[in-house]
Amino acid sequence: MKNLKKTDREIASLIVAERKRQEETLMMIPSENIASKSVEEAVGSCLGNKYAEGYAFRRYYQGQEFVDQVETIAIERAKKLFGVPFVNVQPYSGSPANTAVYFALIKPGDTIMGLSLAHGGHLTHGASVSLSGSYFKSVSYGLDKNGIIDYKEVERLALLEKPKVIVAGVTAYPPLVNWKKFGEIADKVGAYLLADISHLSGLIASGVYPSPVPYVHIIMTTTHKTLRGPRGAMLMVTEKGLKKDPDLGKKINKAVFPGLQGGPHINSIAGIAVALKEASSAKYKKYAQQIINNAKKLGEVLKKNGFTLVSGGTDSHLLLVDLSNKGVIGNLAAEALEAANITLNRNAVPFDANPPFYPSGMRLGTPGITSRGMKEKEMEKIGTWITEVVEDVARIKKEMGVEFAGEKQSSVRKEIIAKSKKIKEVKKMVIALCKKFPIKDQY
């Protein structure tokens, strides 16, 4: 960063500080990962200077010879990796990509159906605070008492409400999604089935998690989670989708541009192309399997230590933990663990009695720490450290006589965390572990 340091020392110093934070922290937010230097170089390249409104070989500006090739390579690599006939790599991120699907297929007031935000869905799957829940009639399905998608309820609601689009997608759901069952339900009511695999795409690409391709019409994925690429998104149409509507790909393209976006971020698309090449390797498949192995082991450790796991465990990269029996809310647990250099996020759990901003749970995952080379042995340590920190702040909270109203106050949580000697002890061990498993430049 020699040029940046000369031009803008303030921003340069913040980037250096953030790099140090990542190096010394266990990245366990499931939607985060560590892209390779190759991906970073593509994203930070001169491609960001080029305006490329339109699609490859059909642009509105001159000077497209090389950027057309970049976008075409990204598309072809995605087609091959996921086994689909159509891909659009231009969406800026997941939310506009999902919105583009709606814009392509339905009109305001039409019905969409998705997993409830409170049960592990996403804002763009029909949440009332989102465009998806305000411009369209939104019907939400949920989980049963065992933390599994209630497919009978999904079918009942679909038959009753006749949605135009059903979204099968998750952001905080550890078990396998039954794509086949969703496909059968969508076919019964004539709905388009959109699979949002943003969290799962790297696992699916590697074959360690079931693919939705045979059962759905459209697939959306971000590219920066388990796929370990830059921030961006892709929309894919399956053979089943083209059979339902031969013009589906054209409609998706038109919705992305000019419907929602202007010129694509060619530098990000180049980064996506690099990530797709990395994800096609045998080494990456081993990585994806290790993500799941690590998540399962971590779940076993936490369960053994008295934590309640929603759905009883995991078949993917993440765990959702109900902290009710530990006597702390998600905010206190997440902030205490952050003080110990373990980052995860507070999260609502199904049927949560607490308000969304002060939820009963926490969500954590293994993609980032697996990228550093950590395996089951390290999960034993990490699970133990999480237990020690959460139980210590729960003890201090109880000794202070703090009730729920007090725990909601940031100043009170900070006071509890400041009193914990265990947090300081764990932080030292976390930093030592991170030094043993440094962030990799290449994979």
Active site residues: 51, 53, 196, 222, 225, 231
Q: Which phi and psi angles does 58 have, rounded to 5°?
A: -140, 60
Q: How far is CA 3 from CA 7, 50, 294, 398, 408, in A?
A: 6, 21, 40, 52, 44
d(CA 381, CA 210): 30
Straight-line distance from the first to the last Cα atom of the chain, in angstroms, rounded to the nearest whole number: 22
Alpha carbon dihedral 216, 236, 292, 282, in 10-degree steps, equals 120
CA atoms within 13 A on the CB side of 407: 26
d(CA 338, CA 341): 5
Q: What is the DSSP letter of 192?
A: E
H-assigned helices in 245-357: 248-254, 266-279, 282-304, 330-339
CA-based radius of gyration for the chain: 22
Q: If phi over 0 gives left and psi between -120 and 50 gives alpha, with beta otherwise, what is residue 420?
A: beta
Q: Which residues contact 275 (CB under 8 A, 6 or more apart)?
A: 35, 36, 39, 223, 227, 228, 229, 230
Are the CB atoms for 51 and 61 separated by under 8 Å?
Answer: yes
If residue 385 lies in a helix (H) or strand (E), which one and from where to where?
Answer: helix 376-400
Q: What is the DSSP letter of 258?
A: I
**Dihedral sign computed on CA atoms, order 4, 6, 7, 12:** positive
* Rounded (to 5) percent helix, strand, coil in the chain: 50, 15, 35
